[in-house]
A and B are shown apart, each in its own frame.
Chain A
Amino acid sequence: MSDAKILDAKIPEGPVQDKWTSHKFNMKLVNPANKRKHTVIVVGTGLAGASAAASLGELGYNVLNFCIQDSPRRAHSVAAQGGINAAKNYQNDGDSVYRLFYDTVKGGDFRAREANVHRLAEVSTSIIDQCAAQGVPFAREYGGTLANRSFGGAQVSRTFYARGQTGQQLLLGAYGALMRQVEAGSVKLFPRREMLDLVKVDDLARGIICRNLVSGELERYAADAVLLCTGGYSTVFYLSTNAVNCNATAAWRCYKRGAYFANPCFTQIHPTCIPRMGETQSKLTLMSESLRNDGRVWVPLKKGDDRKPSDIPENERDYYLETKYPAFGNLVPRDIASRSAKEVCDEGRGVGPTGYAVYLDFGDAINRLGKEAIRQRYGNLFSMYHEITGDDPYETPMMIYPAPHYTMGGLWVDYNLMTTVDGLFALGEANFSDHGSNRLGASALMQGLSDGYFVIPYTLGNYIASTSMKAVDTDAPEFDQVEKEVQEYIDNLMSMDGDKTADEYHRQLGNIMIDKVGMSRDTEGLNWALEEIPKIREEFWKNLRIPGDAKDYNKELEKAGRVADFLELGELMARDALERNESCGGHFRVESQDEEGEAKRDDENYCHAAAWRYLGLGDTPELVKEPLHYENVIPSTRSYK
């Protein structure tokens, strides 16, 4: 561990409430007239990327903004449904910045950095103001004020929403701000580009290599800083609720250039998704968590009971959440609901064609409240379910099963959102900083916009103002070198002429990941995964088939590059999960549970962020720890009994 960089989170001094305020004052500013001389690369146009690019453009920086889709408006953030949290306390129900801070630290099961979380809670209120001013059509009360709902078991109503399309509307707001800067000339857009590598000059991040996804040509871009806003990596599991093009490639290539990857094993598996129905399925659809408010979760008491649900009498059903967690019942937190579903299915009591599904039954609610009331509450969701599965949930119970949904892990960043590579920043789901080992519902949108609108405009300025760097353009030898490496990599991928497709390898990896590195993890399974994944990787690099030409629009080449990275990231996730021999948040180690089978956290040994440092392909990466200190929220055990 000797030559490893010390992980200095650069947390400002002072009480947690004052840190951000005093830090903002202490940071250096870039002279307004000089800003346009500084080029900033923003990779990604989701909530984090679009808000950052727009805000930096407004400040006068020269921004280059990249995304893989044909338009920035299609970034995966568009799919978020439920809402966005903010400590406005408009409902007068006892919310406050401190309470949102507290809930987030506790919800993250004491594995997030207090200072970051407090800042997030502080700026949350400005996010809502900003988005409302942009004309985001948030839900309103009759008096015209903003409406709120309580989300994901929160005890206060602090979630703002725009029907079931909150992510879409927030993204269109940020996209609008971005397009305004495009029109003003401060932001230049590069859609249909995939960042494939990072270029460092004098150890500072100074540019990127992209593949133009239409022409297939490699392109170079130089800048004074690079912002990675490239989202999460749930698609490492192949089947997830994420959009099919979500990937880890940009973050992974930066990891290989010296950015540490923190807590890769912290993933969130969402309990209420439509189960997998067949071999060729390409993604899993999230059903709103709100369904658990009225639906009752059950499986047959007997193993292998394949009667129709309506033929199974009441006394032969196991409402396992209600029995195990009488206080919270069907409303237990996401990780507990997910794990319990897996347990009963592993016991052989799962339902549906694959045996990996549980019932979510609205029969009682319909009897109690009437079909109409249920239709009003969940009409849209019921018809969506009907459409996808062909089953009518008014007549027969829904079937649900957990699905990978969000990744709390990501590139390690300090308080300023800078990675261990100077000049390389990570924002949004791509970083690891705010959610610890479990993210609360409606907090990802908040974090993406906080990072982009309100944090990076300050911390980036400070970096630029306090770093001396030489002028660099894309003719620099460093660009030649990295581009050459990328070209060789692509040539290798194209050259195999094997007989399996990238998707086949992806599915193979996904099966291992969900089985051994999914909802519950144990030493044996993780060790097995650590042996199997490299074998698949080896075969991949011998037997992959990519049709067509690299210098052309080529989806198979795109996919192959992403799968190649997942085949490395998956291994790191297993390694991280094995190293962390405790259960916390979304990470459940079978070896670390109490007598009642509940997760047991181990603060003595694991109260740290685990950041991994790349040492070369095939070499075991080095674990570098950032110890976490809790000065305000004292670690306690979660209990939902």
Chain B
Amino acid sequence: MKINLKIWRQSGPDAPGRLVDYSIDGIDQSQSFLEMLDTLNEKIIKDGGEPVAFESDCREGICGNCGLVINGVAHGEKGACTTCEVRMRSFQDGDTVTIEPFRAKAFPIIKDLVINRSAFDRIMAKGGYVAVNTGSAQDANLLPVHKDAAEAAMDSAACIGCGACVAACPNASASLFVGAKISQYTWLPQGQVERSTRALGMVKQMDAEGFGDCSNHAECEAACPKEISIANISRMRREYTKALFAEQGS
């Protein structure tokens, strides 16, 4: 089938960008969306041009590396999947598809569709863990965890850090990302000791990185490839408020 593309091209962080038209024939239904872009790139290279820069790695929806806004929707209209999981089967011959990077002030563009998400790492450095040195752990079964709590923690921990939540949010807020991490540890006994410092540290860093506030649009939840619930955001708010009071009280 034939696909028409409008792709965001931008040669560097400070260069102006624009949508460029391409059209590519012979696309097979069985191809993935990224394989369609591979095919396009091979053609561009053969024609003497510069290929479209985009990122991917696992190509099975777990590493969080890929992430494109497809026809205005982060990871595409299908929902509950990453860009690399989108298949060409869901397009029709002659369709026009617009492809843009995830956009947010805190995610500057590096080139074309490639963005810098290191803000997420800096947020994680402020408490996205349980502080336990190697070798100091007790036998794992000495710390029972209720099955339901483990399942709930896993629901939050499923986040792949792709940034679709930020791209989808009208305020470019990272609340779903941060809320998911904070929530994971609220469910687990291991997470209790640092509960307040984690909430304070991560939320403050999120603000410092220039992510916006959450105003309950729930676009993040709709875009999340791992279907992480916005309940994580309410939990983050509670945790943060409690921690603030505790901090001020002490």
Chain A positions within 8 Å of B, measured between CB atoms, are 51, 54-55, 58, 69-74, 76, 78-79, 88, 90, 126, 128-135, 137-146, 162-163, 165, 168-169, 172-173, 175-177, 179-180, 182-183, 189, 191, 214, 243-245, 277-278, 280-283, 285, 387-390, 453-454, 457, 499, 501, 503-504, 545, 547-548, 552-553, 555-556
- For the complex, give the distance between the alpha carbons of A390 and B90 in Å: 10
Nearest 9 interchain pairs by C-beta: A144-B144, A176-B129, A133-B137, A132-B140, A129-B137, A137-B153, A137-B154, A55-B134, A183-B125
Task: For residue A604, give the distance in angstroms from its CB to the closest CB of chain B.
Answer: 43
Complex-state Cα separation, A434 to B108, whole angstroms: 43
A206 to chain B, nearest CB (A): 26
Question: By the criterion CB–CB under 8 Å, are B42 and A503 in contact?
Answer: yes
B190 cross-chain contacts in A, Cβ below 8 A: 132-135
- Bound-complex Cα distance A555 to B81 (A): 25
Chain A residues with CB below 8 A from B31, complex form: 278, 280-281
Q: Let me know if A141 and B117 touch, CB within 8 A.
A: no
User: Known pairs A69-B57, A76-B57, A175-B124. 14 more at Cβ < 8 A?
Assistant: A58-B133, A78-B63, A78-B64, A133-B136, A146-B140, A243-B59, A244-B56, A244-B57, A277-B30, A282-B34, A390-B87, A457-B134, A545-B45, A553-B111
Contact with A along B31-74 (1 / 0, CB 8 A): 11011001100101110111101011111101111000000000
Output the least CB separation between B20 and chain A (Å): 15
| Bound form: Cα–Cα A182–B42 in Å | 39
CB distance from A96 to the nearest CB of B (A): 16
In the complex, chain A residues whose CB is within 8 Å of the CB of B64: 73-74, 78
Query: Which residues on the B side are within 8 Å of A55 (C-beta)?
Result: 133-134
Does B243 touch A at the CB level, under 8 Å? Answer: no
A residues less than 8 Å from B120 (CB atoms): 71
Whether A130 pairs with B135 at a CB distance below 8 angstroms is yes
With the chains together, A278 CA to B31 CA distance in Å?
A: 8
* Among B63, B133, B136, B144: residue with most chain A CB under 10 A: B63
Least CB distance, B13 to chain A, in whole angstroms: 9
What residues of B have a CB within 8 angstroms of the CB of A189 in the complex? 121
Q: Give 26 CB contacts A-B under 8 Å.
A: A69-B57, A69-B65, A76-B58, A78-B160, A88-B141, A90-B141, A131-B140, A135-B188, A140-B150, A141-B147, A162-B154, A165-B154, A168-B62, A169-B157, A179-B129, A191-B118, A278-B31, A280-B28, A282-B38, A282-B59, A283-B59, A387-B81, A453-B134, A503-B42, A545-B45, A548-B51
* Known A-B contacts A132-B140, A133-B137, A176-B124; A78 and B62 likewise in contact (beta carbons under 8 Å): yes
Q: What's the Cα separation between A173 and B131 when bound, in Å?
A: 10
B46, B118, B131, B137: the one within 8 Å of A130 (CB): B137
CA distance A191 to B110 in the complex (A): 14
Count, chain B residues at interface, CB 8 A: 75
* Docked-complex contact A73 and B30, CB < 8 angstroms: no
A177-B129 in contact given A72-B121, A140-B145, A244-B56 (Cβ < 8 Å):
yes
Answer whether residue B238 sits at the interface, using C-beta atoms and an 8 A cutoff.
no
Q: At the interface, yes or no: B161 with Cβ under 8 Å from chain A?
A: yes
Residues of chain A within 8 A of B29, CB atoms compared:
390
Contact of A134 among B46, B118, B130 (CB under 8 A): B130
Interfacial chain B residues near A172, Cβ < 8 Å: 157
Contact (A126, B135) CB under 8 Å given A177-B129, A553-B53: yes
Establish whether residues A142 and B147, one from each chain, have CB atoms under 8 Å apart when the complex forms.
yes
Max count, chain B CB within 10 A of own CB: residue among A214, A499, A547? A547
The answer to whether B161 touches A73 (Cβ under 8 A) is yes
Q: Residues of B contacting A76 with CB < 8 Å?
A: 57-58, 63
Closest Cβ of chain A to B249, distance in Å, is 25
Cα A547 to Cα B139 with chains together (Å): 55
Chain A contacts of B85 at CB under 8 A? Answer: 387
Q: Which residues of A contact B134 (CB under 8 A)?
A: 51, 54-55, 58, 130, 177, 453-454, 457
| Beta-carbon contacts under 8 Å, B194-208 to A | none
CA distance A138 to B157 in the complex (A): 11
Q: Is the CB of B137 within 8 A of A180?
A: no
Within 8 A of A (CB), among B68-100: 81, 85, 87, 89
Q: How far is the CB of B123 from chain A (nearest CB, A)?
A: 9
Q: Does B212 contact A (CB under 8 A)?
A: no
Binding site for A on B (CB under 8 A): 28-32, 34-35, 38-39, 42, 44-46, 48-51, 53, 55-60, 62-65, 81, 85, 87, 89, 110-111, 114, 116-118, 120-121, 124-126, 128-141, 143-147, 150-151, 153-154, 157-158, 160-161, 184-185, 188, 190-191
Given known A70-B65, A453-B134, contact A180–B129 (CB-CB < 8 A): yes
A278 in contact with B28 given A74-B57, A243-B57, A244-B57 (CB within 8 Å):
yes
B110's partner among A130, A214, A281, A499 (CB-CB below 8 A) is A214
Point out the residues of chain A lying under 8 angstroms from B118, CB to CB: 70-71, 191
Return the chain B residue nearest A503 by Cβ.
B42
Known A137-B154, A283-B59: A70·B126 in contact at CB below 8 Å: no
| Residue in A135, A144, A245, A454 whose Cβ sees the most chain B Cβ within 10 Å | A135
CA distance A145 to B158 in the complex (A): 21
Asked if A137 meets B157 with Cβ closer than 8 Å, knowing A69-B65, A132-B143, the reply is yes
Q: Enumerate chain B residues within 8 angstroms of A78, measured Cβ to Cβ.
A: 58, 62-64, 160
Residues in B whose Cβ lies below 8 Å from that of A280 = 28, 31, 35, 38-39
Q: Which residues of B contact A162 (CB under 8 A)?
A: 154, 157
**Within the assembled complex, what's the spacing in Å between the Cα atoms of A444 and B250?**
47
Residue of B whose beta carbon sits closest to that of A130: B137
A113 to B35, CA, bound (A): 41
In the complex the two chains form, what is the Cα distance from A401 to B104 in whole Å? 42
What is the minimal beta-carbon distance from B141 to any residue of chain A, in angstroms? 5
Which A residues are CB-close (under 8 A) to B151?
137
Q: Please state if B35 and A281 are interface contacts (CB–CB under 8 Å).
A: yes
**Are A133's CB and B132's CB within 8 A?**
yes
Task: Establish whether residues A143 and B150, one from each chain, have CB atoms under 8 Å apart when the complex forms.
Answer: no
In the complex, which of the residues B65, B110, B120, B144 has the most CB atoms of chain A within 10 Å of its own CB atom? B65
Question: Shortest Cβ distance from B79 into chain A, in angstroms?
Answer: 12
**Does A137 contact B55, Cβ atoms closer than 8 Å?**
no
- Residue of chain B at shortest CB distance from A75: B63
Residue ID in chain A nearest B124 by CB atoms? A179
Please determine whether B50 and A182 come into contact, CB atoms closer than 8 angstroms: no
Query: In the assembled complex, how far is the CB of residue B73 from the closest CB belonging to chain A, in whole angstroms?
Result: 18
| Cβ contacts under 8 Å, B160 to chain A | 78, 168
Report the minimum CB–CB distance from A419 to chain B (whole Å): 23
CA distance A283 to B84 in the complex (A): 11
- Which residues of the other chain, B, contact A183 by a CB distance below 8 angstroms? 125-126
Nearest A residue to B190 via CB reads A135
Residues of B within 8 A of A182 (CB): 121, 125
- Are A285 and B87 in contact (CB-based, < 8 A)? no
> B110: which A residues are within 8 A, CB to CB?
214, 553
Interchain CA distance A135-B151 in the complex, whole Å:
12
